[in-house]
Amino acid sequence: MVRNVFSTGFVVRAAHTLLTWAITLVLFLHSADLHHQEQFGDLPHPLLFVLLVFCSMLFYFAVSLMDPGYVTCDGDVTVQYIHLGTDYTILGINEEQAPKVMHLRRCGYCMLQQPMRARHCKACQHCVRRYDHHCPWIGNCVGERNHPLFIIYLVIQLVVLLWAFHLTWSGFHPGASWTEWLQLNMFLLLAFAIITIFTFVVILLLVSHLYLVSCNITTWEFMSHHRISYLKHCTSDESPFDRGISRNLYNFFCTCHTVAWEKIYLQAENSLV
């Protein structure tokens, strides 16, 4: 039990929580805009900032602790676009027109049949549906179930970081010398450096994920398309699951049920014949 409590995921989440609230405390204690607004009784802005920080933490723990879409049992052995049991010679259908059968791959680690777009994560020791990547920041995989929440978390986190960036900049005060300025602004300067780095990282993550989602392709598929059997005929930013930007975004954020990607793939293949 001690080993589970002090696991890597627990340490990362604890560090993220402490760092978030420590920087928030620095912004309130230094002579930044929040400090002045609080002193003069202008409470809506400080309260809104704290509320946004609290919301970002809620989404962080939701994405970090929820099931990303673990594969827990075997699905159907084969997936087929046209029903089995038809005598195609009677119907006059040649071999090329016969229904395509897709056999699900069996994972070499957990020995379960992997649905299409699933991948085994060695860190989580599970196969994850529509696997995107394992994120060390949240200590969890990003998959079919928590990927939309992950992007919403990034949006809220970016708003908080941009606001915090403005607040730290407003809190710097001049000093008579470089040494005196450093002493006055030491903690604020450290917070500013951390906020700048995280802002840059979050912007890159958010832009890249929104682009990939609009193409209906995952980070894993984008990076390893040349090794994935159903993507070998595609370029790195092409996907057989692409239905257009608006429909991709709508399905991504509004679909709550498990998606049978095998059927969508076979329908796309059939439409090309």
Determine the distance from the C-alpha atom of residue 41 to the mean position of all C-alpha atoms in its chain, rounded to a whole number.
39
Q: From the candidates 121, 127, 135, 141, which is the catalytic residue? A: 135
- Residue pair 178/38 in contact (Cβ under 8 Å)? The answer is no
Cα 99 from Cα 101, distance rounded (Å): 6
3-class secondary structure per residue, 187-221: HHHHHHHHHHHHHHHHHHHHHHHHHHHHCCCCHHH
Q: Is 135 an annotated catalytic residue?
A: yes
**What DSSP character marks residue 133?**
E
State the Cα angle at 111 between 82 and 212, rounded to 5°.
Answer: 65
Cα 181 to Cα 50: distance, rounded to the nearest angstrom: 28
Whether the CB-CB separation of 45 and 175 falls below 8 Å is answered with: no
Catalytic residues: 135
